[in-house]
Copies of this chain bind each other. A is one copy, B any other.
Amino acid sequence: MPNLPNLQNDLGFDFYVASRLVSQAYREPLQELGLTYPQYLVMLVLWEEDGQMVSQIGEKLQLDSGTLTPLLKRLESANLIHRNRSESDERKVVIELTYPGKALQAKAKDIPEKIGTSLNSWEENELTNLSTLTKKLIKDFTQTNSWKK
C-alpha cells in the first residue's frame, strides 16, 4: 500500500490483507479435512452447539442466507451436516451434524497449532491487545453499519 497520510484507509486496507492472509494460512491444513476457511468457521459454530438454525449461525458469523445456504448445501453434499425444516416452524431450517461431521472435530483439533507458529513468539499482551482492539473496531463498525439488517 502506498504511504497514505490517512490512517483510516490504511487500517481498512490492513484488515483487508490480514483477513486474506489468515484465510490462506488455514487453507493447507484445512484442505486435508476438505474444508474451506468459511466452512471451518461454520463447523466451529456447530461443534460448539449442534442443531442450530441457519439464522443463528448467520448471527454468529455475520453472514446472511445468501452466503450460508449454498455453503451449507456444500457441507451437506460432503456429508458433514443435515439440513431439515423444523417441524414446529416450517420456515426454520435446523442444521445438525452427521456422524462424520462430529468426528471431524477431532481431526480439526490441532489445526490452530499447525499455523501461526510465528504468533507463538509474540508477547502475551501484544496478542491480547490486538485481540481487544480488533474486537473494539468490530463493535464500532457494527454500529456504523447499523442501517443494515
Chain B residues lying within 8 Å of A1, measured Cβ to Cβ, are 41, 44-45, 60-61
Contact B17 A131 (CB under 8 A): no
Q: Number of A interface residues at 8 Å Cβ cutoff, please give it.
A: 62
Docked Cα-Cα span, A17 to B37, in Å, equals 12
Which of B4, B7, B61, B134 contacts A15 (CB under 8 A)? B134
Docked Cα-Cα span, A13 to B82, in Å, equals 24
Chain B residues lying within 8 Å of A78, measured Cβ to Cβ, are none
Contact A144 B130 (CB under 8 A): no
Contact B138 A18 (CB under 8 A): yes
Contact B116 A2 (CB under 8 A): no
Chain A residues within 8 Å of B, Cβ to Cβ: 1-2, 4, 6-26, 37-38, 41, 44-45, 48-49, 60-62, 111-113, 115-119, 122, 126-131, 133-138, 140-145, 148
